[in-house]
């Protein structure tokens, strides 16, 4: 049973309860709060109500039922250039796999705090398995209304030993059943960059490591004052995102200050370009800012798979992209350094990619 938490409580109470003791925002929501703790109130410029939201535009939806249709590859490359985001339908990942991983996400977050906390930064036997709340609580001026479990894939044996049993099989299954789609998407995107094939070196660089997160956004007492996830772009090559039917993901439209909602489509997967692919493509494919709003009436979940270079890989514009004489706009960067830079600070829009600029 969660302890009562008065709303005139000081910072220590809320931070200690949600972050240190592992109750997370789910624990706060379960207390039946009527007002948002001040630690979660975002500055006005970060609140979605103060943003320009465009309702007459939407990210592309691409039908993958026929990979042999040249239009499919063209649509994928166009979406990566003009939006950095698109949804895919008829992708071949069985619907029951998607439903099972959503159910497993709900099951994990329904566990008692002491069970989830066995996987926290201070208690987890491995850095590859991490339960937490917000993004980087120690670096944030205002916390985000989200709990998460992050699972870095090394091997089936390690997953069997260390991943929580409440969601282990379902997250692994989703990751494995997505492999074919990930490879086909990357093949299409590489052809658009004049890369003829994904050999072993390219495979490592594009998809050498994977991380799957399960995210939980509890119902929020004053959703307009906070965020589920702040403005950021991903550090991945590609992100493969399964969202539930609640909605709340917003994408920044390129070269504007406008935000576009990504509506849930039954059975669809959301794909977005990450910073690594923006750097490898020398800026042709765009990793764009996105964020999630908090919801005042329902709990939301999402399950992203982050497809990344390996930590020891050096990322920079691909030789094939520069063959025509194009000047590189990014330097060569050790991928683990890039990722450390991202996780060292609060979400800050597209600031991270500047770390790699020449």
**Which one of 32-41, 127-136, 262-271 scores highest in mean pLDDT?**
262-271
Task: Let me know if residue 32 belongs to a domain.
Answer: no
Q: In DSSP terms, which residues pair with 333 in a beta bridge?
A: 315
pLDDT digits (tens, 9 = 90+) for 115-126: 888 887 777 778
Q: Which residues of 151-185 are buried (b: 16+ CB within 10 A; e: fewer)?
A: bbbeeeeebeebbbebbbebbbbbbebbeebbebb
Spell out where 49-168 has E strands: 52-54, 61-63, 85-89, 129-133, 147-153
Q: Which domain holds residue 259?
A: 61-356
In a domain, 6, yes or no: no
pLDDT-based confidence at residue 4 (cuts at 50, 70, 90): very low
β-bridge partners, 305: 212, 240
Burial annotation 40-65 (CB, 10 A radius, 16+ → b, else e):
bbbeeebbbeebeeeeeeebbebebe
Nearest to 336 by CA among 309, 299, 354: 309
Would you say residue 6 has pLDDT above 50?
Answer: no
Instruction: Please state, in angstroms and rounded to a whole number, the distance separating the CA atoms of residues 349 and 311.
Output: 23
In a domain, 19, yes or no: no
Q: Is residue 248 left, alpha or beta, with left meaning phi > 0 and alpha meaning psi from -120 to 50?
A: left
Of 14-28, 137-151, 335-349, least confident by mean pLDDT is 335-349
In a domain, 102, yes or no: yes
Query: Considering Cα of 90, then 92, then 96, then 99, what sign does the dihedral take?
Result: negative
Predicted local distance difference test score (pLDDT) of residue 347: 46
- How many structural domains is the chain composed of? 1
Give the per-residue pLDDT at 98: 97
Contacts 24+ apart (CB under 8 A), 13-21: 14/39, 15/39, 15/137, 18/133, 18/143, 19/132, 19/133, 19/134, 19/137, 19/143, 21/113, 21/117
- 99 falls within a domain: yes
In a domain, 215, yes or no: yes
CATH number at residue 213: 2.60.120.330
pLDDT in tens, 211-252: 999 999 999 988 888 888 888 888 899 999 999 999 999 999
Q: What is the mean pLDDT of residues 47-72?
A: 85
Q: Report percent pLDDT > 70 for the chain.
A: 88
Residue 14 lies in a domain: no
**pLDDT higher for 103 or 57?**
103
Q: Which tokens is 289 given? A: 């800012």
d(CA 236, CA 216): 21
Q: What pLDDT does 147 receive?
A: 92
**Structure tokens of 189?**
């995107």
Inter-residue contact 324 to 295 (CB < 8 Å): no
| Average pLDDT of every residue of the chain | 86
- Ordered DSSP codes for 23-49: -HHHHHHHTT-SS--GGGPPPGGGSGG
Task: Give CA–CA dist 144/133, Å, rounded.
Answer: 8
Q: What is the pLDDT of residues 242-267, one digit of tens each?
A: 999 999 999 999 888 889 999 999 99
Residues in the chain: 358
How far are the Cα atoms of 99, 134, 156, 302 from residue 105, in angstroms, in the given order? 10, 17, 19, 8
Q: Is the pLDDT of residue 2 over 50?
A: no
Cβ–Cβ contacts within 10 Å for residue 327, how many? 8
CA gap 48, 53 in Å, rounded: 8
Query: What number of other Cβ atoms are within 10 A of residue 357's Cβ?
Result: 11
For residue 5, the model assigns a pLDDT of: 44
Residue 347 lies in a domain: yes
Q: Provide the token pair at 332.
A: 């060569």
């Amino acid at each position: 049973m969660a302890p009562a938490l008065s709303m005139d409580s000081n910072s220590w109470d809320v931070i200690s309860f949600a972050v240190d003791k592992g109750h997370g925002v789910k624990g706060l929501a379960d207390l039946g709060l009527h007002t948002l703790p001040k630690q979660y109130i975002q500055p006005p410029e970060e609140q979605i109500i103060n943003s320009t939201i465009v309702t007459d535009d939407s990210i592309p939806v691409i039908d993958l039922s026929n990979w042999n249709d040249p239009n499919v590859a063209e649509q994928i490359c166009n979406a990566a250039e003009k939006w950095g985001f698109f949804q895919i339908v008829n992708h071949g990942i069985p619907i029951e796999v998607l439903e099972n991983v959503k159910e497993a996400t709900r099951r994990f977050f329904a566990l008692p705090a002491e069970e989830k906390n066995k996987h926290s930064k201070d208690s987890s036997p491995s850095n590859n398995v991490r339960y937490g709340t917000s993004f980087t609580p120690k670096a944030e001026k205002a916390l985000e209304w989200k709990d998460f479990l992050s699972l870095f894939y090394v091997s089936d044996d390690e997953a069997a030993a260390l991943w929580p049993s409440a969601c282990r099989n379902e997250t692994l299954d989703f990751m494995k059943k997505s492999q074919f789609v990930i490879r086909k998407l990357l093949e299409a995107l590489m052809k658009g960059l004049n890369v003829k094939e994904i050999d072993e070196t390219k495979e490592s660089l594009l998809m050498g490591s994977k991380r799957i997160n399960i995210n939980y956004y509890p119902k929020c007492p004053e959703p307009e004052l906070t965020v589920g996830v702040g403005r950021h772009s991903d550090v991945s090559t590609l992100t493969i995102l399964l969202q539930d039917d609640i909605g709340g993901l917003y994408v920044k439209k390129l070269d504007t200050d406008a935000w576009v909602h990504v509506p849930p489509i039954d059975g669809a997967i959301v794909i977005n370009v990450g910073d690594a692919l923006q750097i490898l493509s020398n800026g042709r494919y765009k990793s764009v800012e996105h964020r999630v709003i908090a919801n005042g009436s329902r709990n939301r979940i999402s399950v992203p798979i982050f497809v990344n270079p390996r930590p020891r890989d050096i990322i920079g514009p691909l030789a094939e992209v520069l063959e025509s004489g194009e000047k590189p706009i990014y330097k060569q960067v050790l991928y683990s350094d890039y990722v450390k830079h991202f996780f060292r600070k609060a979400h800050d829009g597209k600031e991270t990619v500047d770390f790699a600029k020449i």
